[in-house]
Amino acid sequence: MKVLLTGATGYIGAATLRALLAESHDVVAAVRSDEAAAKVEEAGATAALGDLMDRGWLASRLREADAAIHLAADDSGAELDGAVVDAVVDAFGGTGKRYVHTGGVWVWGSGDDLREESPVDPPKLTAWRVGVAERLFASDVDASLVAPGIVYGYGAGLPTMLAGGPVDENTGALTLVGPGDQHWTTVHVDDLADLYLLALARGGRGQSYLGASGDNPTVRELAQAFVGESGAVAPETPDAARERLGADFADALLLDQSTRAEKARALGWTPHRATLVEELGRGYTS
């Protein structure tokens, strides 16, 4: 199958590109620079150099593909995703071609058993995602959405921020993000890539899938794994976290979330890589 992939040089995108190529798909990577084009071509994809904000250009590339996965991201947030969805609706609407969009687990807010049907309660940082998904699902595109949790693996992703947090110069304690009793939904980047392929092949139209392994450690458990049994960790107040990280980002990281991701598993997804606690316990290096 000829699959158009955005974000192929990013953290999740590169893993998804590897997974697509491993299953012998013909991948066209929509990229925005010569450097990115060289990277994806070296990996085995065909580069399509252009601007994702150019709806006409992207729609033309999409019409040449059998399916698409959107993983590109930048600071524009809703502007980029809105442009991509517009192009997808233009090119794929009414065709039956499959499209997988990327969301995020944070839009569901705090909850100890989050499900795709749970009411959304997004923090300010990701509130824009709700409207984009609603517009996509209201269209006549055969679309699914994958909502990743905290992605880790190869010493990269958000866990580097936790592991590289400030250390108290007097006690040597690693500062937690907030009080540390909040749970994070977690997923290895390679397991997540597997889910994107399953969503592309088997996902239901208008269906969202929580991309989280079902392992939901607390921030304290994660930090303690990194510093070891003899190491020390220290909580901070939510306000201190907001001051250190910025209010919007901190409020997202302070969410207390857990999920079993049963709908994703019903597709046949079996996440099996090492947990984040295990990886942090080994020092979390690439």
Angle between helices 11-22 and 189-202 (to 10 degrees): 60
Helix (H) or strand (E) holding 5: strand 2-6
Which residue type, as a one-letter code, is found at position 165?
A: G
Confirm or reject CATH 3.40.50.720 for domain 2-151+187-214+260-273, answering yes or no. yes
Matching residue, tokens 């798909």: 25
231 in Cβ contact with 224 (< 8 Å): yes
> Strands 156-157 and 150-153: what pairing?
antiparallel
**Per-residue model confidence (pLDDT) at position 75:** 87
Give the domain ranges of the chain: 2-151+187-214+260-273
Decide: pTM greater than 0.95.
Answer: yes
User: Could you tell me the maximum CA-CA distance found in the chain, to the nearest angstrom?
Assistant: 63
* Residue 3: pLDDT band with limits 50, 70, 90: very high
- The predicted-structure confidence for 104-163, as pLDDT tens digits, reads as follows 999 999 999 999 999 999 999 999 999 999 999 999 999 999 999 999 999 999 999 999
Mean pLDDT, the chain, whole residue set: 97
Kindly state the DSSP code that residue 53 receives in the 8-state scheme.
Answer: T
Flag whether pLDDT at 286 surpasses 80: no
- The predicted-structure confidence for 14-42, as pLDDT tens digits, reads as follows 999 999 999 999 999 999 999 999 999 99
Reading the block at residue 218, the tokens are: 């607390």
Distance CA 88, CA 13 (A): 18
Average pLDDT over residues 86-93: 98
**Per-residue model confidence (pLDDT) at position 133:** 97
Flag whether pLDDT at 224 surpasses 90: yes
Average pLDDT over residues 256-273: 97
Flag whether pLDDT at 285 surpasses 90: no
Reading the block at residue 272, the tokens are: 């099996």
